[in-house]
Structure 1
Amino acid sequence: MTTLQPNRSKRRRQTRGNSYQNIESATNNFSEENIIGIGGNGKVYKGVFPGGSEVAVKRISHENSEGIRAFSAEISSLGRLKHRNLVGLRGWCKKEKGSLILVYDYMENGSLDKRVFECDENNTLSCEDRIRILKEVASGILYLHYGWESKVLHRDIKASNVLLDKEMNAKLGDFGLARMHDHDKVNNTTLVVGTVGYLAPEIAKTGRASTQTDVFSYGVLIFEVISGRRPIEQGKPPLVEWLWELYRKGELVSGVDPRLRGIGEVDEEKVERVLHLGLLCAHPDPKSRPTMRQVVKLLEEEKTEVDESEGEDMDMYILEKMKAKEIRCSFASLSWSDSIVIGTGR
C-alpha cells in the first residue's frame, strides 16, 4: 500500500498499481455489499486484506474536483496527525484514470450518529458512555487546535464524523474540510463550508472558520448526543434554539434524551453541567466561547485556573463559577433570527 511517509517517492511509484489491486480485492471490487458509509465526497467500504486485517476504504471520484481537494486535505492533515482520538490514516493510492483512495483504520462500531439516533432502547448508549465519548472527542479537537506544529481547523465536527472502535473509544474522522494554519495566523478562507445546523453564526457573515467555530460545532455535538435530537428536524425548532429556550425556562434537564431515563438512572447534576458547557460553546458571540483547553478541563472537572501566559480570553475559574443569571443576561437581548446561517450539507 502507498504510505504517507516522506522521502519514499520511488517506493510509492513501485507499489501504487499493486496497492490499488489489493484494495480492489479487499473490498470485493468495491462491492455494494461492502459499503459502510456514504459522504459528500464518495462512498466508504469495508475491506479485508489477506491475513484478516480490516480497513475502511474511502473512494473519491477522480472527476469530482471538490473530492480531489478533499483528498489532498485529508492526506496533508490526517496523514501527519497522530492521536488516540483521531481516526488513523493507514495510507493512500491513486489510480491514473479512476479513483482516489484513502485507507483508514476500521472502526468496528461505526459512527456515533447511528448509535445515538438509529438504535433501539436496548442498544442505546448510556449517559455515562455519551459523556465519555464527548470527552474523547474534545481531547481530539484539543490536539488539532494546540497539540501539533500547525493549528488544524476541522470545520465539520458532527456525530456522523465521530467513529467508534471495537472498545467503543471515540475517534474524530473525515478531514476532507480540514485546514492547517500557523498558530499565530488568521484563517483568510471565506468560502462557507460545513453542515447546516452546526455552523457558527459568524460564518454566515464572514465565511471564515476559526477555532471558535469548531468550538461552536462541538457545542452542537454536545446537544445532539445528550438530547438524542438532530440539529435540524422538520417541524421542530433548531436544536440550539430549543435548548436555549429550555434554559431560559429553567428546564434544561428536560432536554435529555428520554431513552436515557428508560435504561437507568440519569445523574441530572452531571448532565446539566455538560449541557451548560454546550451552551457556552454554542454562544453566538465567539469571544464568549471557551477554548478547547477550557472545555477539556471542564469535562475533566479540574478546578485549577488556566495560566494567563497561555493567552486565554476566559480563565477556568470564570467558566467554572459562571452563574446561570450571568449567562441568561448575555442572551436576553439576542434575536435568534439574526443567527440563522446558510451552509452546505455533506
Structure 2
Amino acid sequence: MSCLIILVLLLFLLFVASLDVNQGQFGFNGYLNVEGVAGVDSRGLGQIFYKNPIQFKNSTNATVSSFSTTFIFAIVPEYTEFGGPGLAFVISPNNEISVALPSQYLGLSSETNIGLDLNHVVAIELDMSRTIAVGDIDDNHVGIDINSPRSVTAASIGYFTDESEFKNLSLKSGDPMQVWVEYDGVEKQIDVTLYPINVSKPKTPLLSLKKDLSPYLYESMFVGFSLPTGLLVFSHYILVWIFKMNGKADELDLFRLPKIPWDDNNNKQGIKQLQRILALTLSLTGLTLFLVLVFGAVLISRKKRFVEILEDWEGFKEKEVLGKGGFGRVYKGVLPSSNVQIVVKRISHDSRQGMREFMAEIATIGRLRHPNLVRLLGYCKCKHELLLVYDYMPNGSLDKFVYHQPNSSLTWTQRLKIIKDVASALFYLHQQWVQVIIHRDIKPANVLIDSDMNARLGDFGLAKLCDLGNDPQTSHVASTLGYMAPELASTGKANTRTDIYAFGLFMLEVAYGRRPIEVRAPPDETFLADWIMDCWDKGDILAAINGRLEKRFVVQEAELVWKLGLLCSHPIAVARPTMSNVVSYLDDVASLPDDLNSCIKAQEFPGVSNDC
C-alpha cells in the first residue's frame, strides 16, 4: 500500500511556545498529526524537532544535567490486526537525522551507521514491529536506544499498578497514552514510564537504565520525534508535549487535550472544522438558504446519476459475487454470444487502489499468454465503472484448498504440480517475455485453480514492467505482510529477487499447509522458514511435516521443495537463485549443491566468501 506522504501540523504551538534558555524548558498543547505512512522530506521520513537546541551539559564539568519530558501520544491504525511504524522520542545533534533510512529503524539510522559512536543519538522507541535484525523482543514494546536501533533495554508495552500488577497495553489501540522520560544527572539513571491517561502516574517505571549519557550527548542537542514509512496506514498524534532541564516537567492539563480524529479522512479534519465555522457564519446571512438549495440540487443530481449507473449494471447479482478485494467486488458471469463462463472484476466507486492498478492490469496481463497465467479477455470503462473480464477458474483460489478445505483436499502430487505451475509462470514473467514483469504479490490467494487442477497466477494489480537488460526495480513498496523480502523494508525497491523471496515462502506454505507467519504457533514455530531451518540443522527436515499430508509424499521431492524454498527465501538477495534455476531444480534437470546447508549459513552475513 502506498500513501501520499503528508505532514499536517495542526495547532503546532512549538513555534510560539516560550523558551527559557536558562531553564531549558518548553511546552505546547494542540496536536502534531503525521498522516498515514508519514514523512516530511524527499525520502519519506517523518522527523519533527523543536526549533532551538537545548543545553544538556554544564560547560564547567561536561556532564549531562538532569532532564524530564512528558508527552501524550496516540497511534490510530487503519488495520488493527497488523503492526506498523511506531515512533520515537529522539535526542539528536541535529534537527534532521540525514543518514536514516525512511522505511525502517524508526527513522533513527541506516545499515551503515548502526552502533557507531559518532551518531550521538539517544532515543526512546515505541515500536509496533518486530525487527529480528536488531533483536526486538516483540511487536509492541518500548526500548531505550543509544546510537543504534538495537535497544540497550526494552520491555513490552504496559504499566505497573500500585499493587505491582503489570497491565498490558497496545500501541495500535488508538487510545492516548502518556509517556515520561526522566534522567537523573546525579544517579546517572534514565527512567521510562508509560500508562493510559485515565490512571495516575505509576510509581514504578516500565524501564530503568543505569547509564551516564555524558559520552553520548553534546553540550547542545535537539529534541523531537521520528518515525519511518510503512506499508500500512497509521496516523500518529502528539497531543501535548513538555520538556524541562534541571527539574521535573510540569504536570499536563488533561482537560485541554484535543480530540483525536477517528474517521478515515484524518487529513481533512482541519478543513471540516473550517467548513463548520463557515457554515455557522453564513447562517447569519441571507446566503444560507441559497447554499442549502444549491447543495440539495447537487445531492439530488448525484443520487440520480448513481441510480442510473446501478440500473445500467443491474446484471450484477448479489448471488453471483465470488469475492471482494481492494479493487471492489468480483462476479461470475456468462458471455451471451458464446455461453463461456467469465469473471468480472468491478472496480468500486470508493476503491482505494483505483486507476493506477487498473491500468497496471491492462498493461501487463492483457498482453500475456501462458498456460499458468490467468488470461484477461477484455476490459471496459463506462460511467465511472471500471470492468475487467477474465477466464473463469471453477475451483477458485489456492488459498481455499490450503486452508478452508479438508486436510486431504490436496495430495502431495497436486501440491508439487501447483508449485511447478507457479514457478513456470514466474519464469515466463521474469525471463521469457519481451519485458521483465515483477509480480510483487505472490501468495496462495492470488493463485487460481482451473477445472483440471492446474495453477494459474493472477492479480496483476501490483505488477510492474521493465525492459529486458534494464534494472528491474520499482521504488513503490507493495507486497503482503509475511511475503515481503527483508531488503524491501530498507530500500523500498522491488525486483525479481523480491518475487523469488515470496515464491520461496509460497513453496514452503503450499508444501507444509500453513502460513509463513503463524502467531498462534509455539515461539520456535512462529516463522515457518526458521522452523524448517531448525529442523534441518537437527538432521530431520521432515520433522516439519504436517498431519495434512499424513506421510503420503515422496521424501526426495519434499526435501527438494523445502530446501529450495529456504534458498529462494534467503535473507540475502544475491543468494537467491533465478527462476530459470528454480525450474531446473524442480524439473530435476539440475541438482541443488550438496553443501547447501553450510552455503546458506555462510551467506547469512554479507561479505562472507563462498562458492554457492
Corresponding residue of 2:401: 115
What is the identity, as a one-letter code, of the residue corresponding to 2:518? E
Structure 1 CA distance for aligned equivalents of residues 393 and 562 of structure 2? 27
- Secondary structure at the residue paired with 1:258? coil
What is the identity, as a one-letter code, of the residue corresponding to 1:324? N
Corresponding residue of 1:281: 568
The answer to which structure has the higher strand fraction is 2
TM-score of the aligned structures, taking structure 2 as reference length: 0.46
Q: 1:103 to 1:299 in 2, by over 3 A?
A: same
Structure 2 CA distance for aligned equivalents of residues 195 and 297 of structure 1? 27
Gaps of 5+ in 1: 1-19, 304-316, 335-346
Corresponding residue of 2:603: 330
Following superposition, the deviation at residue 188 of structure 1 comes to 4.8
Match of 1:37 among 309, 317, 323: 323
Match of 2:425 among 122, 140, 148: 140
Following superposition, the deviation at residue 326 of structure 1 comes to 3.0
What is the identity, as a one-letter code, of the residue corresponding to 1:143? Y
Corresponding residue of 1:201: 486
Q: Could you tell me whether the CA contact under 8 Å between 1:248 and 1:328 is conserved in 2? A: no
Per-residue deviation, residues 271-309 of structure 1 (Å, max 9, x unmatched): 011110000000000100000000000000003xxxxxx
Aligned residues: 293
Match of 2:552 among 254, 261, 265: 265
**Is 1:251 equivalent to 2:536 in the alignment?**
no
The CA RMSD over aligned residues, in Å, is 2.2
Q: Could you tell me whether the CA contact under 8 Å between 2:326 and 2:353 is conserved in 1? A: no
Structure 1 CA distance for aligned equivalents of residues 410 and 496 of structure 2? 29
**Is 1:240 equivalent to 2:529 in the alignment?**
yes
What is the identity, as a one-letter code, of the residue corresponding to 1:247? W
Q: Could you tell me whether the CA contact under 8 Å between 2:344 and 2:389 is conserved in 1? A: yes
Match of 2:376 among 79, 86, 89: 89
- Secondary structure at the residue paired with 2:482? coil
Structure 2 CA distance for aligned equivalents of residues 63 and 95 of structure 1? 16
Per-residue deviation, residues 6-46 of structure 1 (Å, max 9, x unmatched): xxxxxxxxxxxxxx99x946xxx322221212222222111
**Is 1:55 equivalent to 2:342 in the alignment?**
yes
Structure 2 CA distance for aligned equivalents of residues 53 and 24 of structure 1? 19
Q: 1:68 to 1:154 in 2, by over 3 A?
A: same
Aligned-pair identity (%): 44
Structure 2 CA distance for aligned equivalents of residues 188 and 48 of structure 1? 38
Gaps of 5+ in 2: 1-308, 607-612
Structure 1 CA distance for aligned equivalents of residues 558 and 572 of structure 2? 24
Following superposition, the deviation at residue 135 of structure 1 comes to 0.3
Structure 2 CA distance for aligned equivalents of residues 189 and 327 of structure 1? 27
Q: Could you tell me whether the CA contact under 8 Å between 2:439 and 2:462 is conserved in 1? A: yes
- Secondary structure at the residue paired with 2:456? strand
Mean Cα deviation higher: 264-273 or 130-139? 264-273
What is the identity, as a one-letter code, of the residue corresponding to 1:160? A
Corresponding residue of 2:495: 210
Following superposition, the deviation at residue 242 of structure 1 comes to 2.4
Corresponding residue of 2:146: none
Structure 2 CA distance for aligned equivalents of residues 232 and 58 of structure 1? 29
Larger radius of gyration: 2
Structure 1 CA distance for aligned equivalents of residues 597 and 395 of structure 2? 37
Structure 2 CA distance for aligned equivalents of residues 61 and 165 of structure 1? 26
Q: 1:202 to 1:74 in 2, by over 3 A?
A: same
Moved over 6 A (4+): none
Corresponding residue of 1:80: 367
Per-residue deviation, residues 242-272 of structure 1 (Å, max 9, x unmatched): 22222222232122231111xx632122101
Corresponding residue of 2:48: none
The answer to which structure has the higher helix fraction is 1
Structure 2 CA distance for aligned equivalents of residues 164 and 44 of structure 1? 16
Per-residue deviation, residues 176-203 of structure 1 (Å, max 9, x unmatched): 0000001222245322111000010000
Q: Could you tell me whether the CA contact under 8 Å between 1:85 and 1:172 is conserved in 2? A: yes
Q: Could you tell me whether the CA contact under 8 Å between 1:57 and 1:104 is conserved in 2? A: yes
Structure 2 CA distance for aligned equivalents of residues 320 and 92 of structure 1? 46
Q: Could you tell me whether the CA contact under 8 Å between 1:41 and 1:61 is conserved in 2? A: yes
